[in-house]
Amino acid sequence: MAKQFKWLFVGLLSVLLFVGIVTGPTRIGLWAQWSNDHYSFGGGTQPWALAFSAVVIGLYLLLMYAEPSGVGKPLPGVVRRFVAFWLDFVLAMLAVTPIFGAVLTLTEWRRTGLFQWTFERANAAPGDRLLIAAQLLLCSVALVFYYAFPLVRRRPSPGTCIVGYQVVAEDGITLTVRTALLRTLLGFLALCVAYLAPFIERDSKNGKFWLDKVFGTRAVMLG
């Protein structure tokens, strides 16, 4: 049952925290900085990060096709929604950035003939700007898919599963791919524009705020 995946994701995040404490700060993916007199470009991945990425993606897909959990009472507050969003954001980045970091590692290996899991250089190379744009595009697409797919599958996302609720369509309403994508994009916009957005037009009794009213959804506890 989907509800039971909570402990798998909690365990995964606990292991990540332990690894972070043991290994210290580690850069994964791509990082770049430049000004008139300074240029820095770096990227890469780590074997353990690739392993985490594979586990996150595997658990995510298993959750999407797991037996649905029962629908409980409406979720009255919005604090859990914020917590779930950031838990999902961390897990989504854990899934995507190590893979793109591996692409950077292979790209730099091909360019220099020297293999390193991570690299950093102070000189520009052809294709740097293209790689920056590619990472931005990949992360954006992956995030939208990550948040929208559970709405289409009628399953909780990993983050909402951890905190014990999910977003469902109203009775008689089926969320199409288009509707799920639009709801996800508008949700990002609402979060970026104002953290107070979820408090506007709230209907705590039915587990709704304005975004749910627009798209015919509500938040309910996992039964």
Task: Give the percent of the chain with pLDDT over 90.
Answer: 54
For 159-186, write each residue's pLDDT tens digit.
999 999 999 988 767 789 999 999 999 8
Domain count, the chain: 1
Please state, in angstroms and rounded to a whole number, the distance separating the CA atoms of residues 180 and 166: 14
Range of the domain at 159: 2-222
Under a CB-based contact definition with an 8 Å cutoff, are residues 208 and 202 in contact? yes
Q: In the numeric block, which tokens belong to residue 191?
A: 């979060």
Q: Are 156 and 166 in contact (CB under 8 A)?
A: yes
- Strand-pair partners of 128: none
pTM of the model: 0.89
Residue 107 has pLDDT above 90, yes or no: yes
Q: Which two tokens stand for residue 94?
A: 């854990």
**pLDDT tens digits, one per residue of 54-80:** 999 999 999 999 988 877 898 887 788
The pair phi, psi for residue 52, each rounded to 5°, is -60, -40
Q: What are the structure tokens assigned to 207, written together?
A: 């587990």
Q: Which residues contact 162 (CB under 8 A, 6 or more apart)?
A: 6, 9, 10, 84, 87
CB atoms < 10 A from the CB of 68, how many? 16
